[in-house]
Structure 1
Amino acid sequence: MRRRILVVALVSVVLLGGAAAYVVIAGHRGDAPAAAAAVVDAGPGDRVLFRSTAASGYGRVGTVARGSEGGARRLSDLDCVRVYAAAGRGICLRPDGPLATYQLTVLDSSLRVEETYPVVGVPNRARVSPSGNVLAWTIFVTGDSYNGGRFSTRAGMIDFATGETVDSLELFSVIGAEKTVDINFWGVTFVDDQHFYATMSTGGKRYLISGDIGAQTVRTVAENVECPSLSPSGDRIAFKEAIGGDPAKGWRLTVLDLTTMRRTHLAESRSVDDQAAWYGNDTIMYAVRRGARDSDVWAVPADGSGTPHLLIPDAESPAALWN
């Protein structure tokens, strides 16, 4: 089955503090290393998958039992920068050698490596469709001439049922907004294997867009929506809303009702720079940074009530495996 991933490189001086820059186009599949992960069940069940930020086992992927998230955790030997799983298939974005290159790793339900693909850029978001068939990723890149060398994003997908890839959402036609030269996409969340939501930035505005993979189109839904996450019931989007429409002021965790288009600000008053995930149909979970390396996963009711509470200490990149 022929699969391709086309990802534009980043400038390493931004990341490594060096003087050189490089551009790499990765258009072939890498060789999968031998599986080395300890057995951790990432299949459907009453568990939350996460990336550990604890000093012991930093970066390793593990699970905690539903209802006991602050208790004992099972850690695999797998290190990831971002991780997600659904229906027994996982995605891991992880470092791959020198020069800040990275690797998209496809995982089975025991977090064993099935396939790997080279990705050049800084991993930012990762998602899996509810069926487990389609994987999506977002990376930061630099060096785009239209962006003055600043960071921009790339988002793509791979369908393991059909073997098809979406090298970049920038190739899709846009309905409802002008497609400018500085267009960017990030933060995919799936409806099913053919439909998704994501964030699109174009002409200085950020939109929630709905996408159709088969038609290769995206349509604008609402402004000032970043990093969407679709509820298990499919009727609401959790997202981060730029305060006053200006990301420099931070973000407010918010839920959008897709039927009424009503926005509900959640009880979390801290700025949340994350793609939230749904713990269930009534609760949102998300990472809050405590520094450059440390973070915790918190949870808050999806209806704007209650107060935030610590869900998983020393963790980030959560995924509820029962959704």
Structure 2
Amino acid sequence: MTLLNVSDLRVAFPGRGFRAKPVEVLHGLSFDIAPAETLGIVGESGSGKTTIGRAVLGLVTPTEGTIEFDGRDITRADRRVRRTLSRDIQVVFQDPYTSLNPAMTIGDILTEPLVKGGRSAHDARQRVRELLDRVGLPADSPNRMSREFSGGQRQRVAIARALAPAPRLIVCDEPVSALDLSTQARVLDLLIELQRETGVAYLFISHDLAVVRHISHRVGVVLRGDLVETGPAAQVTLDPRHPYTRRLLLAAPVADPLLQEQRRAQRRRTAHDHRQQDDSVPLSTNA
């Protein structure tokens, strides 16, 4: 069973200057996500990975291709349909410091969308208490302002907000990149635990192979708008086939200085060996 199906997705943005041609940033990507599955999308800055998430959320309009959610074509859904879809598709953004309204209490931030969605104020407050407890925040959190929380705690609030309408899919756009390593691990473990409890699916976007490996069932690697390698998370992140994925793996930092130096040297050799190779040929490691 497929929850999200993306087929031949192409996105172009207007070019700079008078009469400039549009610039295509996604070149016919196709992937799917099953219920309760995490698909990790990994790539460098500028690869187009965030645009994938924005297209699924309806924040950019594809120039070609289709996006289907639960068998329904949502590629060019209008505002009314998108409001309905927001109950099933939510998002956790990268920056926990700017994604929460600093003028509102945490309780108001979380109850407002529930009340607008048709819940009574009493039911909304009860739901908020349950959500904050689920993500491990103190009981007095609804009465506090976002500035009173650490970065990791703010991201837990953002996760609670995404979970509030009981969605079936959450787009996680670099949700831990602004956090320190220990906080990253706690937030990732929280997302995994919540997925086991609720059955929610994740489209998890990141530049970090180690992060993607920790949380994903399958991984897709994006290079300059092309999906160049897909497959099971362990295979793609530990024994990749595509030269670009291998370079990403070698670029990941490790704690051992000697091993880090060996990786740097190997990465330089790999870059030299494949300088003339066309990296745009997609490879799939799906069985």
TM-score, normalization by structure 2: 0.32
Name whichever structure is richer in helix by fraction: 2
Name whichever structure is richer in strand by fraction: 1
* Higher RCO structure, 1 or 2 (CA under 8 Å, sep 6+): 2
- Between structure 1 and structure 2, the one with the greater Rg is 2
